[in-house]
Structure 1
């Protein structure tokens, strides 16, 4: 069990440190980052219950609905809800990059708990695969979500509402595409590799932009 917990935590902590240390301005309080990570861990439980309930009722059984609703919508909405209603409205959330820090932290908390459950069932030998795909993809969805909420926090224009909507819509869309590739493509690995490169390029660009002084 110790090896499973370590194998689940290690990639999440590494990615969280990577994005946390990318902050060029005032770093967020570690207590707030840890708190957001714990919220992400706890989010796994209502999501699992919701997914199980729909499955038992025979709903959302098609590959498309499993990818875009059961996985992407349920998971990204709950993460977005916590990020928006608990951290976005906090006084500490006062810079563009703050959104990325908290978005990544919540997402990695979720990915860590999800990873523990997965490795308990399928074995710790799946840890490298999980680190390269599910864990890192959750972090990248969190970057996109946090980027747009962070931008909304520092803008006073009418675009604020649009940015808030994009902070949920784009991670949902990317997550749905990610899961759909896993579900239906026979040669999914050949599609997933360029898609993950695409996700990383988007995320690193968002990191750079969020660190650019707002004018």
Structure 2
């Protein structure tokens, strides 16, 4: 007589959400590519070099990022996401008005402890001024987005009655972006350069003293 089949035990869950391994691998690739791009430049870094540094095949790499341009775009977008999150106030969201500009000072101060990230930005920005460079679109979008955030913060200050009516909002935004980018270059190139966050804070304070109502 045939015996009844024993009931199958349910498959055990690994305890990891579906796609968690893939997401972790993607983050590893982005971190590795950022390090190589900052050290060797975009043009000096091959996909095979990124794959080797990650301990994977180039086929595995292109599964996540089909081209080097795709990889570069993801690396730079990830950097901007991290910077944007850094300015957020926990539980409060984006700082308002002049407090947003104070958040930019905190971001500059934080970046002093992240020389690799700063080097990545300055390296990519230097190459991406070429309109034919694959990061040129990112660079223009990055500067436009940063300017829009600064203008929005100043518009909030105006709404709160804390900005002079004749404040040159567009000029302030451009000068702050130029200061952030330029201070990073000086700080990277000169080991004796003083605290760039203090320099940037001085500029923000001067602008606030001049234009706060």
TM-score (norm 1): 0.37
Structure with greater helix share of residues: 1
Q: Which has the higher contact order (CA 8 A, sep 6+)?
A: 1
TM-score (norm 2): 0.37
